[in-house]
Structure 1
């Protein structure tokens, strides 16, 4: 059990080799924290709706996203601010219009799997 941290080395295990595999699969704490933050952004139905819309259609403006999701413009803007800060979306300015698009490929893959599973 070479991967077990010293503070857990004396704990009883049933399948020690699997414990080491599990520790390797979990990886470092920073990686787990980053994914937990991504998933927390997906946990809100409004933000998830925005991401699904952007994933399926490509770039959309705030007002279009509001109509598509049934949210108010200020709520869409607030959600997009959080998604932008989390590195999931970006906005591209075209004059006075800003169109948002999904830029996180890992989240796009999660959304693709979720959408396929939901529709089947």
Structure 2
């Protein structure tokens, strides 16, 4: 059980080799924390709806996202601010209009396989 941290080495295990495999699969705790933060952004129905819309259609302006999601413009703007600060979306200015697009490829894959793959 070479992968078991010293602070857990005295704990009883049933399948020690699987414990080591599990520890290896979990990997770096910072990586796990970063993914947990990403998933927390997906946990909000409004933010998830915005991401789904952007994933399916490509760039959309705030007002268009508001109509598509049934949210108010201010709520969409606030959600986009969080998604932008987490580097999930980016905005492209075209005169006075800013169109937002999904830029996080890992989240796009999650949406495609996890959420979009189970629609009827």
* Equivalent pairs, count: 119
Query: Over aligned residue pairs, what C-alpha RMSD do you find?
Result: 0.6
Deviation (angstroms), 1:116: 1.1
Q: What pairs up with 1:41-60 in 2 under 5 angstroms?
A: 41-60=41-60
TM-score by length of 1: 0.98
Deviation (angstroms), 1:36: 0.5
CA distance in 1: counterparts of 2:106 and 2:25, whole angstroms: 17
Runs of 4+ in 1 over 4 A off after TM superposition: none
TM-score by length of 2: 0.98
Q: What pairs up with 1:5-84 in 2 under 5 angstroms?
A: 5-84=5-84
Unaligned runs of 5+ in 1: none
CA distance in 1: counterparts of 2:119 and 2:21, whole angstroms: 31
- 1:75-98 superposed Cα distances (whole Å, 9 cap, x missing partner): 000000000011100000000000
Unaligned runs of 5+ in 2: none
